[in-house]
């Protein structure tokens, strides 16, 4: 029997710390449902003390998820841990993940604490966390640059205090595989009662080594890997869940472990996270990139046609790449629509929401002949915006763009329930539309990113637009989808403005594991 490798997904916490990748509560619940469908062991739902919004999202996920463990991150202080404990309280299986920095530079420059004080605080944190759950994880932030003797000391203390998982993070992506593996190996050998806990790793990708470091740690004895869908995360991101899982699955001759992940749900999870966060997946991304199983070379094509394993080490269908199929059309009824949403793990909270979504589906079906799963996800993303969140709304758009003439846009917006009109010229139809919107809203925001992707294939495909805006240190992404790219662009811009209008600022944590 092989050991179980615990997959700890932190897309909703660490992944959300990517600039502009902040998700609404409803979006987080959709991702959490998909992670549970994929049979992820632990879902780190957020940082409960960061904001009231984070707290409410974690609590909602704790009330929704039944099979996976729901976890909240907390700094090693009583207030943070109390908020985490309250947030995860409804969960069937719950965990508190608490951390404190252990590297000399962090202890001296950031915490301004002595090593003795850090150990004392860590032990207290475990005691506070165990008031809420027996499943307590401890992380030594910046362990990758910490002194090995001090790590042994603090880990021994927190294990004695009741920690059940010990996480060794390479917080700044500084380590190399052989070095990191040796660190894990020595910790397991030297720390008393190391066999009483699960050893975990959380690797960042600053040098492109997050997955390599994670897998090397597994070979050295780690039995939990913390990772994210698509490798999302701060700076260069985290270890990619799909790469870790498929490496272990594809090379059973190398790894003495196995996961419980339902791998056919990997691609659907990747697409959902990409769509919600506005972070597209590069075509040559391993496992989930559009070209991951494409063969251009004639030699490769010939080999694959003769025998798939000549150039493919895994099957595309095993990770969820299947031929897009027509799921619904304009003649489909309300029950068929509702059933397909349920199959996709999408649950609408009320009959009113279902009726509204179905009406939008019918409108879309009149515009394009084939409705794919990706279209439904985009439709529901639009529908998830509640009237309370929709301070700005597009009522009407008209664009004139012809060769040799300056593009011109005219818009009618609803702003707080009041209808306002504006028009503007621009260098292109989208530029003119954005300028017309700004004449009304005067947001003072800076446009950081404008991106367009086709949701499906065909000239009638919906265009999915991502707009990233910055204002006052707050960065948000807005998404919009429509068969008309200019309309999709206006929707995305207004979606971002609505987020800026309604957002509550997050408290930045002292650090990040």
CATH number of the domain bearing residue 397: 3.30.160.270
Give the residue-averaged pLDDT of 86-97: 98
Q: What is the pLDDT of residue 233?
A: 94
Q: What is the mean pLDDT of the chain?
A: 89
**Does residue 173 have a pLDDT over 50?**
yes
For residue 472 the two structure tokens come to 């006052």
**Does residue 484 have a pLDDT over 50?**
yes
Does the residue 134 lie in any domain?
A: yes
Q: Which of 223-232, 333-342, 380-389 has the highest mean pLDDT?
A: 223-232
Q: What is the pLDDT of residue 304?
A: 46
For residue 153 the two structure tokens come to 């000391």
**Does residue 385 have a pLDDT over 60?**
no
Q: What angle do CA 6, 73, 94 make, to 5 degrees?
A: 55
**Cβ atoms within 10 Å, residue 46:** 31
**Does residue 462 have a pLDDT over 80?**
yes
**Do 44 and 169 fall into the same domain?**
yes
Task: Tell which wins on pLDDT, 56 or 464.
Answer: 56
- 327-337 exposure pattern, b = at least 16 Cβ within 10 A, e = fewer: bbeeebeeeeb
Does the residue 303 lie in any domain?
A: no
**Domain end among 277, 300, 324:** 277
DSSP state of 462: P
Does the residue 27 lie in any domain?
A: yes
Residue 411 is inside which H or E element, if any?
strand 408-415
Q: How far is CA 332 from CA 323, 327, 337, in A?
A: 21, 9, 7
pTM: 0.84
Does the residue 200 lie in any domain?
A: yes
Supply the range of the domain harboring residue 52: 3-277
**Domain end among 218, 251, 277:** 277
**Do 402 and 264 fall into the same domain?**
no
**Domain end among 226, 261, 277:** 277
**Does residue 387 have a pLDDT over 60?**
no
Does the residue 284 lie in any domain?
A: no
Three-state DSSP class for 376? helix
Does the residue 202 lie in any domain?
A: yes
Question: CA–CA separation, 391 vs 389, rounded Å?
Answer: 6
Closest CA to 174 of 132, 196, 206, 151: 206
**Do 271 and 415 fall into the same domain?**
no
DSSP state of 309: G
Question: CA–CA separation, 391 vs 503, rounded Å?
Answer: 12
Q: Which residues pair with 480 in a beta bridge?
A: 465
Does the residue 324 lie in any domain?
A: no
**Does residue 310 have a pLDDT over 90?**
no
Percentage with pLDDT > 70 across the chain: 91
Q: How many domains does the chain have?
A: 2
CATH for 80:
3.20.20.70
- Report residue 292: phi and psi, to 5°: -60, -30
Does the residue 332 lie in any domain?
A: no
Please state whether beta strands 257-258 and 42-47 pair in parallel, antiparallel, or not at all (unpaired). unpaired
**Do 402 and 268 fall into the same domain?**
no
Q: What is the pLDDT of residue 82?
A: 98
Give the residue-averaged pLDDT of 225-237: 96
| 403-421 pLDDT per residue, tens | 999 999 999 999 988 999 9
Strand order in the sheet with 463-471: 446-454, 463-471, 474-482
- Report residue 319: phi and psi, to 5°: -105, 5
**Do 399 and 260 fall into the same domain?**
no
**Does residue 309 have a pLDDT over 60?**
yes
Question: Residue 117 in contact with residue 153, Cβ under 8 Å?
Answer: no
Task: Tell which wins on pLDDT, 52 or 278.
Answer: 52
Give the residue-averaged pLDDT of 51-71: 96
Question: CA–CA separation, 293 vs 295, rounded Å?
Answer: 7
Question: Residue 71 in contact with residue 137, Cβ under 8 Å?
Answer: yes
**Does residue 505 have a pLDDT over 50?**
no
């Amino acid at each position: 029997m092989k050991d179980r490798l615990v997959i700890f997904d932190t897309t909703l916490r660490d992944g959300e710390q990517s600039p502009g990748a902040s998700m609404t509560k409803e979006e987080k619940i959709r991702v959490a449902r998909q992670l549970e469908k994929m049979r992820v062991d632990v879902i780190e739902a957020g940082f409960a003390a960061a904001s009231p919004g984070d707290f409410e999202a974690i609590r909602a996920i704790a009330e929704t998820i039944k099979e996976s463990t729901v976890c909240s991150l907390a700094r090693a202080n009583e207030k943070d841990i109390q908020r985490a404990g309250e947030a995860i309280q409804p969960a069937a299986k719950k965990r508190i993940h608490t951390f404190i920095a252990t590297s000399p530079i962090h202890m001296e420059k950031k915490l301004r604490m002595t090593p003795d004080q850090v150990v004392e605080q860590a032990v207290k944190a475990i005691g506070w966390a165990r008031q809420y759950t027996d499943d307590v994880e401890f992380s030594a932030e910046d362990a990758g640059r910490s002194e090995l003797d001090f790590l042994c000391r603090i880990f021994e203390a927190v294990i004695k205090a009741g920690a059940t998982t010990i996480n060794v993070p390479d917080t700044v992506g500084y380590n190399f595989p052989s070095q990191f593996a040796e660190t894990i190996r020595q910790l397991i050998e030297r720390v008393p009662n190391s066999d009483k806990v699960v050893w975990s790793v959380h690797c960042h990708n600053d040098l492109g080594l997050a997955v390599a470091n994670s897998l090397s740690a597994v070979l050295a004895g780690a039995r939990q890997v913390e990772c994210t869908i698509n490798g999302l995360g701060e700076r260069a991101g985290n270890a990619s869940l799909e790469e870790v899982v498929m490496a272990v699955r594809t090379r059973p001759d190398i790894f003495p472990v196995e996961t419980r992940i339902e791998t056919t749900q990997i691609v659907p999870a990747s697409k959902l996270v990409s769509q919600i966060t506005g972070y597209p997946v590069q075509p040559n991304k391993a496992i989930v990139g559009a070209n991951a199983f494409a063969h251009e070379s004639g030699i490769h094509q010939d080999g694959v046609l003769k025998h798939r394993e000549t150039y493919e080490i895994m099957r595309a269908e095993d990770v969820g790449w299947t031929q897009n199929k027509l799921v619904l059309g304009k003649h489909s009824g309300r029950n068929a629509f509702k059933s397909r949403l349920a199959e996709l793990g999408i649950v609408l909270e009320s009959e009113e929401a279902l009726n509204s979504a179905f009406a939008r589906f019918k409108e879309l079906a009149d515009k394009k002949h084939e409705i794919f799963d990706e279209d439904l996800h985009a439709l529901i993303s639009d529908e998830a915006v509640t009237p309370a969140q929709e301070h700005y709304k597009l009522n009407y758009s008209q664009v004139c763009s012809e060769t040799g003439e300056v593009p011109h846009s005219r818009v009618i917006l609803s702003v707080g329930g009041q209808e306002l009109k504006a028009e503007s010229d621009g260098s292109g139809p989208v530029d003119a539309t954005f300028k017309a919107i700004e004449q009304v809203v005067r947001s003072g925001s800076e446009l950081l990113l404008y991106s367009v992707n086709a949701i499906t294939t065909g000239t009638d495909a919906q265009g999915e637009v991502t707009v990233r805006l910055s204002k006052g240190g707050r960065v948000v992404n807005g998404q919009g989808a429509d068969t008309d790219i200019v309309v999709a662009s206006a929707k995305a811009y207004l979606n971002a403005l609505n987020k800026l209008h309604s957002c509550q600022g997050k408290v930045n944590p002292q650090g990040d594991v």
